[in-house]
A and B are shown apart, each in its own frame.
Chain A
Amino acid sequence: MKIILSNASPDPIYEQIARQIKNQIISGDLEEGAPLPSIRMLALELQISVITTKRAYEELEKEGFIDTVGGKGSFVAVQNVELLREKKMKIVEDKLNEAVREARLLGISYTELRQMLELLFQE
């Protein structure tokens, strides 16, 4: 597991942690059933408050990415294949959305944008 926190980022630290773990689960770097460090251990490693790591894990649990078993710790949840695919699509969709917004703002047309995408995809 790899987590890099940025103090310059406007995103709260717990969000940064949750997002990075989520991405590693979706990409498969963290496999199903893999144990995660305890909230205390992770807080110690990252030199942050245990309240922050707890909140990050709670977010991940809520979204179904991890399971917490009392007394045993937290594990990467068994992922539903369909759901996982949906989540992957959602990530790309968000990025595309961002690009579309930016394109509109800068006066780039749909045709131009599509050409750009085609080129990029073929690279």
Chain B
Amino acid sequence: MFQAIEILGLRKKYKRFTLQDVSFVLPAGHSMGLIGPNGAGKTTIIKLIMNLIRRDAGEIHIFGRDVIQDELAVKRRIGFVYDVPPFFQDVKLRDIAKAMAPFYPTWNQSIFESLMSEFELPREKTVKKLSQGMQTKFALLLALSHDADLILMDEPTSGLDPVFRRDLMQRLNGYLRDSSKAILYSTHITTDLERSADYITFLREGRLVFSTTRDELLDSYAIVKGGHELLKESYRPLFAGCHESSVGVTALTADRKQAERVLQDQAVVERASLEDIMVFLNHGE
């Protein structure tokens, strides 16, 4: 069984930014959220997977196939949902489908028709008459209609309201009921990921900080709150990042159990949110 995505030592150099030897794996049947501050390299990775830009080093395999050598075969299996769907603004939705279908041997018109009704999208309207949320939904619908095995999305939920976002996430999770499929999306809306991503990959300044299961992350990291005594030198190794104010100290630990053992009742230890982890690690070093 091949991994849905296997990235090894990926490098891409720009004038002011370098994606540095990034490696991670996404097993089929799972979803992965790509997070990190702006400029971390999320979009660069997605573009490299889509072979829209040239990599300087490393390998990318999608279901076991190289994205450059087997470009066509790979792309047929990917459903790419852009942050701004690149559709012609004056074309009706049903005509866009007609134009796309010939490119995909696996295009399924009846899935397209039934999803149009399910997603409540107007066949006869032009793209420019759709809200941003509807455009995203339509882009996803097209990916589902050609039976993509890997859905790739760059910031799919930014600019969407919470109700719409949750609806979208639910549909994506429903799609994963088929365990041969996989989803990778970049986002900075971490609450969406907390809800349902299986894996979280965190990038900062072109480097991989971690790529792990969400469970492991949320069960091992914790927020520690206490007085200024937490700043003691001997406690330092416990914390991955900390924030000091006039009334106390808030810190992030990567080892909840260890922190609880060492600090005992000197501090309050509570579950960290993904946002906490992201913010603290970003300022940490």
Residues of chain B within 8 A (CB-CB) of A44 are: 173-174, 177
Whether A49 and B177, one on each chain, are in contact in the complex, defined by CB atoms closer than 8 angstroms, is no
Partner of B270, one of A10, A14, A43, A47: A10
Whether A50 and B271, one on each chain, are in contact in the complex, defined by CB atoms closer than 8 angstroms, is no
Q: Does B37 contact A (CB under 8 A)?
A: no
Residues of chain A within 8 A (CB-CB) of B218 are: 12
Residues of chain A within 8 A (CB-CB) of B214 are: 49, 51
Distance A24 CA – B177 CA, assembled complex (angstroms): 26
Give how many B residues have a beta carbon under 8 Å from the other chain's beta carbons: 21
Give how many A residues have a beta carbon under 8 Å from the other chain's beta carbons: 17
Q: CB-defined interface of A39-71 with B at 8 Å, one 1/0 digit per residue?
A: 011011001111110010000000000000000
Distance A51 CA – B219 CA, assembled complex (angstroms): 13
CB of B140 to closest CB in A, whole Å: 17
Distance A44 CA – B172 CA, assembled complex (angstroms): 10
Partner of A13, one of B31, B198, B215: B215
Residues of chain B within 8 A (CB-CB) of A55 are: 215
Whether A47 and B215, one on each chain, are in contact in the complex, defined by CB atoms closer than 8 angstroms, is no
Whether A43 and B173, one on each chain, are in contact in the complex, defined by CB atoms closer than 8 angstroms, is yes
CB of B152 to closest CB in A, whole Å: 19
Distance A49 CA – B213 CA, assembled complex (angstroms): 9
Distance A101 CA – B195 CA, assembled complex (angstroms): 36
Distance A47 CA – B179 CA, assembled complex (angstroms): 16
Q: Does B44 contact A (CB under 8 A)?
A: no
Distance A50 CA – B195 CA, assembled complex (angstroms): 11
Whether B29 and A49, one on each chain, are in contact in the complex, defined by CB atoms closer than 8 angstroms, is no
CB of A61 to closest CB in B, whole Å: 18
CB of A53 to closest CB in B, whole Å: 10
Whether B196 and A49, one on each chain, are in contact in the complex, defined by CB atoms closer than 8 angstroms, is yes
CB of A98 to closest CB in B, whole Å: 18
Distance A60 CA – B31 CA, assembled complex (angstroms): 24
Known: A14-B215, A51-B198. 16 other contacts (CB 8 A): A8-B271, A10-B270, A10-B271, A12-B218, A12-B219, A40-B176, A40-B179, A44-B177, A47-B170, A47-B195, A47-B196, A48-B195, A49-B198, A50-B30, A51-B30, A51-B214
**List of 6 A-B pairs having minimum Cβ-Cβ separation, nearest first:** A49-B198, A12-B219, A40-B177, A51-B213, A51-B198, A52-B215
Which of B's residues lie within 8 Å of A, judged by CB? 29-31, 170, 173-174, 176-177, 179, 195-198, 213-215, 218-219, 269-271
What are 20 inter-chain pairs, A to B, with CB distance below 8 A?
A8-B271, A12-B215, A12-B218, A12-B219, A40-B176, A41-B177, A43-B173, A44-B173, A44-B174, A47-B170, A47-B173, A47-B195, A47-B196, A49-B197, A49-B213, A49-B214, A49-B215, A50-B30, A51-B198, A51-B215
